[in-house]
Every structure is written in structure tokens, then in C-alpha cells.
Amino acid sequence: MKARLYEIIGSYIAVELDKDGAINLLEKLRNDLGRGGDDVDDAIRMIRNFDTFYEFMKKKFKEYLTPKKNLSDMIKGLVIVDKIKLIKKDNERLVVIIFDRSVRKEDVEKALNELGYSIEYLQPS
């Protein structure tokens, strides 16, 4: 299993991986970091209902979906997910997770390694 990890403008960490791996990664990060509430729940709901939300993205001409976030979680720095992108390549369903700026690259790398992913590092575009 392979995950693509990269940094985007503004020091946001992003990872692209398969649909099931994205759910596992979010649950693992929530457990490991001890944070993530409505944002993680909503992101997982969108990923589980991939086809519905993919069609919604295309109809609304959206590139990313933004999970709902609790304002108090944002103020306390407990948010994990900034936004997600759903991608269909051939028969594959991929998810790009853009993490909140408070999530460290090392934490994402550790979680991916523990889930058995090999990490491909991409240069920022």
C-alpha cells in the first residue's frame, strides 16, 4: 500500500491514499493525538459515502469538501482535518486529506507507517 505525502502552501500537510486507508488514518490520528471531533466524524462520513459526495463535488464545481468543524475545537486547536478531495482514477477511489496546520508531518508519517503504508514524498506544486 502506498501513500503520497506532500506539503502545500501555508505549511499544510496533505496525504493521498485509498478510501479505506483514509478512514483508518483519520481514526488512528484521532486516537494517537487525542483530538479531532466533528471534523473527523464528518470527513469519515464523506469518505464512506464516496460516490454521493464525489457527484456533489462535480455538480457544484468544487475541488475540495470542507468537513464541519466545532468552533470551540478550532479555538482550542483540536481540529485535525482542514478539507478533503475525492478522486476517481480508473477503478480506484482515492482521497486527499489536507490536515489542519497544527498537525505535524511526523505524526502523519508515524501513523502511515504503523498502518503499513510506504510513503512517497512529493515536492510541493
Q: How far apart are CA 105 and CA 47, in angstroms?
A: 22
Q: How far apart are CA 17 and CA 19, in angstroms?
A: 7
CA 43 to chain centre: 8
Q: Per-residue pLDDT tens for 24-37?
A: 999 999 999 999 89
pLDDT band at 11 (very low <50, low <70, confident <90, very high): confident
**Residue type at position 30:** R
Q: How far apart are CA 17 and CA 27, in angstroms?
A: 14
Report the domain count for the chain. 1
pLDDT band at 110 (very low <50, low <70, confident <90, very high): very high
Beta-carbon contacts of residue 4 (< 8 Å; ≥ 6 apart): 15, 16, 17, 119, 120, 121, 122
**How far is CA 64 from each of CA 2, 71, 86, 87, rounded to the nearest angstrom?**
22, 20, 8, 10
Q: How far apart are CA 13 and CA 18, in angstroms?
A: 17
Q: Per-residue pLDDT tens for 35-67?
A: 989 999 999 999 999 999 999 999 999 999 999
| DSSP 8-class letter at 100 | P
pTM: 0.94
Domain range enclosing 15 = 2-121
pLDDT band at 124 (very low <50, low <70, confident <90, very high): low
